[in-house]
Amino acid sequence: METNETTSPAVATPLWVKLTRIVLGLAILLLLIVYPCYVQVSEGTAVVVTRFGKPLRELTSPGAYFKLPWPLEDARVVDLRQHVFNTPYTATLTRDRRNVVLSTFVVWNVAKPLVYLQSAGSIEVVSAKIDGMVTAAKNTRMGGYDLSSLVSTNPDQVQTELIEQQLLADVQAGALSKFGIEIQQVGINRIAYEASNVTAVLAQMKAEREAAAKQLRALGEKNANAIRDDAVVRSEEILRDGKLEAGKIRADAEQKVSEIYAQAHMRDPEFYRYWRSLEALKRSLGSDSTIILRTNEGFFDLLTDPPPVPDSPPPSSMSTSQEERTVQLPLNSANSQGQGQP
Protein backbone atom coordinates (compact mmCIF):
# COMPACT_ATOMS: atom_id res chain seq x y z
CA MET A 1 0.00 0.00 0.00
CA GLU A 2 1.56 3.24 -1.06
CA THR A 3 1.25 6.42 0.88
CA ASN A 4 1.57 9.77 -0.68
CA GLU A 5 3.23 12.25 1.61
CA THR A 6 2.85 15.87 0.69
CA THR A 7 5.24 18.49 2.19
CA SER A 8 4.62 22.22 2.04
CA PRO A 9 7.47 24.38 0.83
CA ALA A 10 9.33 26.58 3.53
CA VAL A 11 8.19 30.18 3.71
CA ALA A 12 11.08 32.67 3.45
CA THR A 13 11.34 35.36 6.25
CA PRO A 14 11.18 38.90 4.90
CA LEU A 15 14.39 40.88 5.00
CA TRP A 16 12.98 43.82 6.97
CA VAL A 17 11.95 41.52 9.77
CA LYS A 18 15.45 40.16 10.03
CA LEU A 19 16.89 43.66 10.05
CA THR A 20 14.47 44.75 12.77
CA ARG A 21 15.42 41.83 14.95
CA ILE A 22 19.12 42.55 14.48
CA VAL A 23 18.75 46.25 15.29
CA LEU A 24 16.62 45.53 18.35
CA GLY A 25 19.13 43.00 19.65
CA LEU A 26 22.03 45.39 19.12
CA ALA A 27 20.10 48.17 20.92
CA ILE A 28 19.41 45.92 23.91
CA LEU A 29 23.05 44.86 23.99
CA LEU A 30 24.20 48.48 23.73
CA LEU A 31 21.79 49.49 26.49
CA LEU A 32 23.11 46.75 28.75
CA ILE A 33 26.64 47.95 28.12
CA VAL A 34 26.00 51.74 28.32
CA TYR A 35 23.52 51.89 31.22
CA PRO A 36 26.03 50.89 33.90
CA CYS A 37 28.25 53.72 32.61
CA TYR A 38 25.50 56.36 32.98
CA VAL A 39 25.33 58.50 36.14
CA GLN A 40 22.46 60.93 36.81
CA VAL A 41 22.95 63.65 39.46
CA SER A 42 19.61 65.08 40.66
CA GLU A 43 18.93 68.40 42.35
CA GLY A 44 19.75 68.28 46.07
CA THR A 45 22.07 65.27 45.77
CA ALA A 46 25.74 64.58 45.07
CA VAL A 47 27.49 61.50 43.65
CA VAL A 48 30.88 60.15 44.68
CA VAL A 49 32.49 57.90 42.05
CA THR A 50 34.81 55.21 43.44
CA ARG A 51 37.14 52.87 41.57
CA PHE A 52 37.64 49.56 43.35
CA GLY A 53 36.43 51.28 46.56
CA LYS A 54 38.82 54.21 46.29
CA PRO A 55 37.15 57.65 45.95
CA LEU A 56 37.85 59.09 42.55
CA ARG A 57 35.74 62.22 42.08
CA GLU A 58 32.73 64.16 43.40
CA LEU A 59 29.80 65.13 41.20
CA THR A 60 27.79 67.94 42.82
CA SER A 61 26.23 69.73 39.83
CA PRO A 62 22.95 68.30 38.50
CA GLY A 63 23.24 66.52 35.13
CA ALA A 64 24.32 63.32 33.34
CA TYR A 65 27.85 61.90 33.74
CA PHE A 66 29.84 58.90 32.47
CA LYS A 67 31.75 56.28 34.45
CA LEU A 68 33.12 52.87 33.90
CA PRO A 69 30.69 50.01 34.49
CA TRP A 70 30.53 48.08 37.69
CA PRO A 71 32.63 46.50 39.20
CA LEU A 72 35.31 48.82 37.87
CA GLU A 73 33.66 51.98 39.14
CA ASP A 74 30.73 52.56 41.47
CA ALA A 75 28.55 55.65 42.15
CA ARG A 76 27.32 56.45 45.67
CA VAL A 77 24.54 59.02 46.05
CA VAL A 78 24.66 61.49 48.96
CA ASP A 79 21.64 63.54 50.08
CA LEU A 80 22.57 67.25 50.38
CA ARG A 81 19.24 68.43 51.79
CA GLN A 82 18.84 69.72 55.34
CA HIS A 83 18.23 67.28 58.16
CA VAL A 84 16.86 67.89 61.66
CA PHE A 85 18.11 65.76 64.52
CA ASN A 86 16.47 65.90 67.97
CA THR A 87 18.86 64.91 70.71
CA PRO A 88 17.55 62.83 73.62
CA TYR A 89 17.11 64.36 77.07
CA THR A 90 20.44 64.81 78.82
CA ALA A 91 21.01 66.03 82.37
CA THR A 92 23.57 68.74 83.07
CA LEU A 93 24.57 70.96 85.99
CA THR A 94 24.41 74.74 86.03
CA ARG A 95 26.80 77.10 87.76
CA ASP A 96 24.54 77.34 90.82
CA ARG A 97 24.53 73.52 91.08
CA ARG A 98 21.05 73.01 89.66
CA ASN A 99 20.43 69.82 87.71
CA VAL A 100 18.47 70.53 84.51
CA VAL A 101 17.43 68.20 81.70
CA LEU A 102 17.74 69.68 78.22
CA SER A 103 16.47 68.50 74.84
CA THR A 104 18.06 70.17 71.79
CA PHE A 105 17.62 70.05 68.03
CA VAL A 106 20.33 70.29 65.37
CA VAL A 107 19.85 71.39 61.74
CA TRP A 108 22.60 70.04 59.48
CA ASN A 109 23.41 69.12 55.87
CA VAL A 110 26.27 67.43 54.03
CA ALA A 111 28.87 69.95 52.85
CA LYS A 112 31.71 67.55 51.89
CA PRO A 113 30.26 64.36 50.41
CA LEU A 114 33.61 62.55 50.24
CA VAL A 115 34.48 63.22 53.90
CA TYR A 116 30.92 62.29 54.88
CA LEU A 117 31.17 58.89 53.17
CA GLN A 118 34.59 58.15 54.59
CA SER A 119 33.74 59.13 58.21
CA ALA A 120 30.06 58.24 58.60
CA GLY A 121 28.37 57.13 55.43
CA SER A 122 24.81 57.17 56.81
CA ILE A 123 22.39 59.45 58.63
CA GLU A 124 22.21 57.14 61.65
CA VAL A 125 25.95 57.25 62.22
CA VAL A 126 26.06 61.04 61.80
CA SER A 127 23.17 61.46 64.29
CA ALA A 128 25.11 59.51 66.91
CA LYS A 129 28.21 61.65 66.30
CA ILE A 130 26.19 64.86 66.58
CA ASP A 131 24.57 63.69 69.81
CA GLY A 132 27.95 63.16 71.44
CA MET A 133 29.30 66.53 70.30
CA VAL A 134 26.24 68.48 71.44
CA THR A 135 26.10 66.72 74.82
CA ALA A 136 29.74 67.58 75.50
CA ALA A 137 29.14 71.20 74.47
CA LYS A 138 26.08 71.46 76.76
CA ASN A 139 27.97 70.13 79.76
CA THR A 140 30.77 72.63 79.13
CA ARG A 141 28.65 75.71 78.48
CA MET A 142 25.94 75.21 81.10
CA GLY A 143 28.60 75.12 83.81
CA GLY A 144 29.12 78.85 83.21
CA TYR A 145 25.46 79.91 83.56
CA ASP A 146 22.95 79.94 86.39
CA LEU A 147 19.49 78.43 86.22
CA SER A 148 18.00 81.91 85.83
CA SER A 149 19.72 82.12 82.42
CA LEU A 150 17.31 79.44 81.19
CA VAL A 151 14.14 80.14 83.19
CA SER A 152 13.30 83.49 84.75
CA THR A 153 10.39 85.89 85.07
CA ASN A 154 12.78 88.70 84.16
CA PRO A 155 13.35 88.69 80.39
CA ASP A 156 16.68 90.47 80.82
CA GLN A 157 18.14 87.48 82.68
CA VAL A 158 17.20 84.85 80.07
CA GLN A 159 20.20 84.10 77.82
CA THR A 160 19.03 81.10 75.80
CA GLU A 161 19.94 82.72 72.48
CA LEU A 162 23.51 83.34 73.64
CA ILE A 163 23.78 79.77 74.90
CA GLU A 164 22.52 78.41 71.56
CA GLN A 165 25.06 80.51 69.64
CA GLN A 166 27.89 79.24 71.83
CA LEU A 167 26.77 75.63 71.39
CA LEU A 168 26.71 76.14 67.61
CA ALA A 169 30.22 77.60 67.64
CA ASP A 170 31.51 74.65 69.72
CA VAL A 171 30.28 71.92 67.35
CA GLN A 172 30.28 73.62 63.95
CA ALA A 173 34.00 73.53 63.11
CA GLY A 174 34.60 70.00 64.35
CA ALA A 175 31.57 68.58 62.53
CA LEU A 176 32.71 70.05 59.22
CA SER A 177 36.30 68.87 59.43
CA LYS A 178 35.63 65.42 60.91
CA PHE A 179 32.35 64.36 59.33
CA GLY A 180 31.96 66.67 56.32
CA ILE A 181 28.63 68.09 57.59
CA GLU A 182 27.68 71.71 58.15
CA ILE A 183 25.66 72.38 61.30
CA GLN A 184 23.49 75.41 60.64
CA GLN A 185 21.56 75.73 63.91
CA VAL A 186 21.54 74.37 67.44
CA GLY A 187 18.49 75.17 69.56
CA ILE A 188 16.92 74.19 72.88
CA ASN A 189 13.65 72.30 72.46
CA ARG A 190 12.58 71.86 76.04
CA ILE A 191 13.85 72.35 79.57
CA ALA A 192 12.83 69.84 82.21
CA TYR A 193 13.69 69.52 85.87
CA GLU A 194 14.13 66.72 88.29
CA ALA A 195 11.68 66.40 91.15
CA SER A 196 14.22 67.80 93.61
CA ASN A 197 14.67 70.96 91.55
CA VAL A 198 11.02 71.81 90.97
CA THR A 199 10.69 73.35 94.45
CA ALA A 200 13.84 75.40 93.94
CA VAL A 201 12.63 76.66 90.57
CA LEU A 202 9.23 77.64 91.98
CA ALA A 203 10.90 79.38 94.93
CA GLN A 204 13.15 81.31 92.57
CA MET A 205 10.23 82.39 90.41
CA LYS A 206 8.28 83.43 93.52
CA ALA A 207 11.23 85.49 94.78
CA GLU A 208 11.56 87.22 91.42
CA ARG A 209 7.85 88.00 91.39
CA GLU A 210 8.00 89.39 94.91
CA ALA A 211 11.00 91.55 94.00
CA ALA A 212 9.14 92.93 90.99
CA ALA A 213 6.05 93.57 93.15
CA LYS A 214 8.11 95.41 95.75
CA GLN A 215 9.66 97.56 93.08
CA LEU A 216 6.24 98.43 91.70
CA ARG A 217 4.92 99.21 95.19
CA ALA A 218 7.89 101.45 95.92
CA LEU A 219 7.38 103.30 92.66
CA GLY A 220 3.65 103.67 93.37
CA GLU A 221 4.33 104.93 96.90
CA LYS A 222 6.83 107.43 95.56
CA ASN A 223 4.34 108.75 93.02
CA ALA A 224 1.57 108.80 95.66
CA ASN A 225 3.74 110.84 98.03
CA ALA A 226 4.61 113.26 95.26
CA ILE A 227 0.92 113.67 94.37
CA ARG A 228 -0.02 114.01 98.04
CA ASP A 229 2.65 116.65 98.68
CA ASP A 230 1.59 118.57 95.61
CA ALA A 231 -2.04 118.43 96.75
CA VAL A 232 -1.08 119.73 100.22
CA VAL A 233 0.87 122.61 98.70
CA ARG A 234 -1.98 123.48 96.37
CA SER A 235 -4.53 123.25 99.20
CA GLU A 236 -2.42 125.56 101.35
CA GLU A 237 -2.20 128.02 98.50
CA ILE A 238 -5.96 127.86 97.95
CA LEU A 239 -6.67 128.29 101.68
CA ARG A 240 -4.26 131.19 101.88
CA ASP A 241 -5.84 132.91 98.89
CA GLY A 242 -9.31 132.16 100.28
CA LYS A 243 -8.46 133.59 103.70
CA LEU A 244 -6.99 136.67 102.08
CA GLU A 245 -10.06 137.14 99.93
CA ALA A 246 -12.37 136.45 102.89
CA GLY A 247 -10.48 139.03 104.94
CA LYS A 248 -10.96 141.61 102.22
CA ILE A 249 -14.65 140.81 101.92
CA ARG A 250 -15.08 140.83 105.72
CA ALA A 251 -13.29 144.18 105.96
CA ASP A 252 -15.49 145.67 103.26
CA ALA A 253 -18.60 144.27 104.92
CA GLU A 254 -17.60 145.60 108.36
CA GLN A 255 -16.88 148.97 106.80
CA LYS A 256 -20.31 149.01 105.18
CA VAL A 257 -21.96 147.85 108.41
CA SER A 258 -20.20 150.61 110.35
CA GLU A 259 -21.38 153.15 107.80
CA ILE A 260 -24.95 151.86 108.05
CA TYR A 261 -24.80 151.96 111.89
CA ALA A 262 -23.40 155.47 111.77
CA GLN A 263 -26.13 156.62 109.40
CA ALA A 264 -28.83 155.06 111.57
CA HIS A 265 -27.37 156.63 114.70
CA MET A 266 -27.16 160.07 113.12
CA ARG A 267 -30.76 159.94 111.94
CA ASP A 268 -32.31 158.96 115.28
CA PRO A 269 -30.03 158.16 118.24
CA GLU A 270 -32.90 157.20 120.53
CA PHE A 271 -34.42 154.75 118.09
CA TYR A 272 -31.00 153.32 117.31
CA ARG A 273 -30.45 152.67 121.01
CA TYR A 274 -33.89 151.11 121.28
CA TRP A 275 -33.32 148.81 118.27
CA ARG A 276 -29.89 147.68 119.49
CA SER A 277 -31.32 146.91 122.90
CA LEU A 278 -34.03 144.74 121.30
CA GLU A 279 -31.42 142.89 119.31
CA ALA A 280 -29.35 142.27 122.43
CA LEU A 281 -32.48 141.08 124.25
CA LYS A 282 -33.26 138.66 121.41
CA ARG A 283 -29.77 137.19 121.46
CA SER A 284 -29.75 136.85 125.22
CA LEU A 285 -33.09 135.10 125.65
CA GLY A 286 -33.14 132.71 122.71
CA SER A 287 -35.86 130.12 122.13
CA ASP A 288 -35.39 127.85 125.20
CA SER A 289 -34.18 130.37 127.79
CA THR A 290 -36.02 131.36 130.95
CA ILE A 291 -34.98 134.55 132.76
CA ILE A 292 -36.78 136.13 135.77
CA LEU A 293 -36.14 139.88 136.09
CA ARG A 294 -37.90 142.88 137.40
CA THR A 295 -39.84 144.76 134.77
CA ASN A 296 -38.29 148.09 135.62
CA GLU A 297 -34.69 146.93 135.19
CA GLY A 298 -32.46 145.72 132.45
CA PHE A 299 -33.97 145.26 129.04
CA PHE A 300 -37.59 145.38 130.13
CA ASP A 301 -37.59 149.18 130.52
CA LEU A 302 -37.94 149.21 126.74
CA LEU A 303 -41.35 147.64 127.08
CA THR A 304 -42.62 150.23 129.62
CA ASP A 305 -40.63 153.26 128.48
CA PRO A 306 -40.20 153.25 124.67
CA PRO A 307 -38.21 156.04 123.00
CA PRO A 308 -40.12 159.22 121.99
CA VAL A 309 -41.18 159.74 118.41
CA PRO A 310 -38.85 162.17 116.61
CA ASP A 311 -40.32 165.57 115.68
CA SER A 312 -38.81 165.71 112.18
CA PRO A 313 -39.24 162.82 109.73
CA PRO A 314 -36.13 160.89 108.72
CA PRO A 315 -34.50 161.77 105.41
CA SER A 316 -35.83 159.95 102.37
CA SER A 317 -32.46 158.73 101.18
CA MET A 318 -30.25 156.31 103.12
CA SER A 319 -27.04 157.65 101.62
CA THR A 320 -25.11 160.33 103.44
CA SER A 321 -22.30 162.51 102.31
CA GLN A 322 -18.77 162.42 103.68
CA GLU A 323 -19.37 165.68 105.52
CA GLU A 324 -22.38 164.21 107.46
CA ARG A 325 -20.26 161.25 108.60
CA THR A 326 -17.68 163.53 110.19
CA VAL A 327 -20.11 165.76 112.11
CA GLN A 328 -19.41 165.87 115.88
CA LEU A 329 -22.31 164.43 117.84
CA PRO A 330 -23.56 166.08 121.07
CA LEU A 331 -22.22 164.73 124.32
CA ASN A 332 -25.55 163.44 125.51
CA SER A 333 -26.09 161.58 122.21
CA ALA A 334 -22.70 159.89 122.48
CA ASN A 335 -23.41 158.90 126.05
CA SER A 336 -26.78 157.48 125.17
CA GLN A 337 -25.16 155.44 122.33
CA GLY A 338 -22.59 154.02 124.67
CA GLN A 339 -25.26 153.03 127.17
CA GLY A 340 -27.60 151.44 124.65
CA GLN A 341 -25.03 149.53 122.56
CA PRO A 342 -24.15 146.17 124.07
**Residue 132's closest CA among 99, 94, 79, 179?**
179
**Residue 266's closest CA among 334, 171, 193, 187?**
334
Q: What is the pLDDT of residues 8-46, one digit of tens each?
A: 555 667 777 778 877 787 778 777 776 677 777 888 888
pLDDT category at 227 given cuts 50, 70, 90 is: very high
- As a whole number, mean pLDDT of residues 91-115 equals 86
Q: What is the pLDDT of residues 295-328, one digit of tens each?
A: 555 556 656 666 665 555 554 444 443 333 333 3
Contacts by 15-19, CB closer than 8 A, 24 or more apart: none
Q: Which domains does the chain have, with CATH numbers?
A: 15-77 (no CATH), 83-201 (3.30.479.30), 233-340 (no CATH)
All residues at 6 or more sequence positions from 81 whose CB lies less than 8 Å from its CB, including other chains: 44, 109
pLDDT category at 238 given cuts 50, 70, 90 is: very high
**Residue 340: what pLDDT?**
38
- Of all residues in the chain, the percent with pLDDT exceeding 70 is 76
Distance CA 40, CA 63 (A): 6
Residue 243 in this model has a pLDDT that exceeds 70: yes
3: left (phi over 0), alpha (psi -120 to 50) or beta: beta
pTM over 0.75: no
Contacts by 81-90, CB closer than 8 A, 24 or more apart: 81/44, 81/109, 82/107, 82/108, 82/109, 82/184, 83/107, 83/108, 83/109, 83/123, 85/127, 85/130, 85/131, 86/189, 87/130, 87/131, 87/134, 87/135, 88/131, 89/192, 90/135, 90/138
Residue 338 in this model has a pLDDT that exceeds 60: no
Q: Angle at Cα 273 formed by Cα 268 and Cα 277, nearest 5°?
A: 150
8 A C-beta contact, residue 223 and residue 137: no
Average pLDDT, the chain: 76
pLDDT category at 156 given cuts 50, 70, 90 is: confident
pLDDT category at 59 given cuts 50, 70, 90 is: confident
